[in-house]
Amino acid sequence: YENNLCGVKRSDFQRTIDGKEVDLFILKNDKGAEMAVTNYGGALVAIMVPDKNGKLANVIQGHDTLDGVIHSPESFLSTLIGRYGNRIAKGKFQLNGKEYQLAINNGPNALHGGPTGFHARVWDAEQTSQQNLTLSYDSKDGEEGFPGNLHIEVDYTFTNENEFILTYRATTDQTTLVNPTHHVFFSLAGIANPTPSVENNILTLNADFYTPIDEVSIPTGEILKVADTPMDFRTPHTVGSRINEPFQQLINGSGYDHNYVLNKKEPGELTFAAKCVEPESGRSVEVYTTEPGVQVYTANWQSGFAGWHGATFPARSAICFEAQHFPDSPNKPHFPSAVLQPGEKYHQVTIYRFGIEN
C-alpha cells in the first residue's frame, strides 16, 4: 500500500464511521497503471495512466485524505451517485399513486440522491483480486425519501487494457426509483496546480439527440436534434470551440451540462457513448455504457478548491460522462423508465477505457 504510484497513505483513509470501517483500496493492472478508491461514497482517489511518452499522471479529480473527501467543496467529486443520479424537479415524484418528496439540494430541485445519498455512505467492500473490488450497500426504506429497501452492489474492475469497468446490480422489496451513476471528473492532462482547462479536449459523442433544459437545469421534456447547434459532437470538436456561444442551452447550463440521448439499436445494449482526447498528452478516454443517456458536464461550477496533493480544480478543468437514465424521468413518462419493481434485477455496465492518441 505505501508503495502505490499515487502517493496516498492508507492510514489517511482508515476510520470507523457509523460502526463501519472506511479504507483505501488499490487496483493495479499488468501494464503498471493504477487506481485508488475508498469505500466512503465509492470515491475515486486517483487513476494513474500514461501519456504518449509513458509518463504516469492522475487523470481524475479527487482528494488524498478521507477528510478531504468528506468535506469536499464538491460533494460529488468522483463519487458514486444514487439512488437517483441527476435532477428530479422540485424533488417530487409519484409511484403507484403515492407522492414522494425528496430533499431540495440544487436550486428548487433534488440532485444526485440528496445530501446523504450514496456519495456520503460507507459501503461494504471486498477486494477479490488486484484488479477487482466489490462495494455493496443496503439503502433502507425511506432513506433520503425513496421507498423500498434497496440492495445495491457495484464492481470496480481495472483491466489490463486500462479499462475502468463499473458493473451495478440492485434489487428492491418495494417499487422504487433506481438510477445510479459515477460522477468521475476527468482531467486527462493530469491534475495540477492549477489543473488545466478541458477546452482543448477533442470530444466525440454518439448521440443524434439531447434533452434541452430550462433555467434550473430540468429537462423541458423535448428531445431535440443536436444538428446545426453547438450541442453537436457527432464529429470531433474541441470542448471549447463553441462553449461560450450565445446559445440558450449553453447559457442555461453555464456551459455543457446536458443529457445526451445515446444512439442505440435496442435498449440496454452496451454501446459506444463518447470519446475524449487531450491532444498535448495524447491521453484519451472512451466511454461505453448500457444506459440510455450520458450527462456531459464541463465542471462549470468548480471553484478552484484544492484536492489531491495540492492540485486545484478551477471551472472547466474537468469533464464528466455520467452514464444514466435521463434527468427527471419520474416526471416525464415518455423518457425511459427508472422504476425498479420487486422481483426485477437492475443491471448496468459502464466502461471508461483509457488510451493514447499519437
CA 221 to chain centroid = 23
SS3 for 75? Answer: coil
Q: Each residue of 265-299: pLDDT tens digit? A: 999 999 999 999 999 999 999 999 999 999 999 99
Cell of 238: 474541441
Domain covering 10-199+260-356 assigned CATH 1.10.1040.10 in the classification: no
Question: Taking the domains of the chain in order of start, what are their residue ranges?
Answer: 10-199+260-356
pLDDT at 158 over 90: yes
Average pLDDT in the 182-190 region?
98
Half-sphere exposure of 250 (CA within 13 A, CB side): 16
pLDDT at 1 over 80: no
Average pLDDT taken over every residue of the chain? 97
pLDDT at 189 over 60: yes
Amino acid at 205: L
Q: Are 103 and 145 in contact (CB under 8 A)?
A: yes
Q: Are 302 and 317 in contact (CB under 8 A)?
A: yes
pLDDT score, position 358: 81
Single out the residue of 220, 226, 225, 250 nearest to residue 335, CA to CA: 220
Rounded (5°) CA angle 177-179-180: 130
pLDDT score, position 2: 59
pLDDT score, position 332: 98
Please name the residue that has the C-alpha cell 416525464: 332
pLDDT score, position 3: 74
Q: Are 87 and 109 in contact (CB under 8 A)?
A: yes
Active-site residue, from 112, 119, 182, 183: 183
| Cα separation of the two ends of the chain | 33
Q: Does residue 334 have an active-site annotation?
A: no
> What pLDDT band is residue 214 in, cutting at 50, 70 and 90?
very high
Q: Each residue of 105-156: pLDDT tens digit? A: 999 999 999 999 999 999 999 999 999 999 999 999 999 999 999 999 999 9
Of all residues in the chain, what percent carry a pLDDT higher than 70? 99
Active-site residue, from 143, 144, 278, 322: 322
Q: Each residue of 322-341: pLDDT tens digit? A: 999 999 999 999 999 999 99
Q: Does residue 347 have an active-site annotation?
A: no
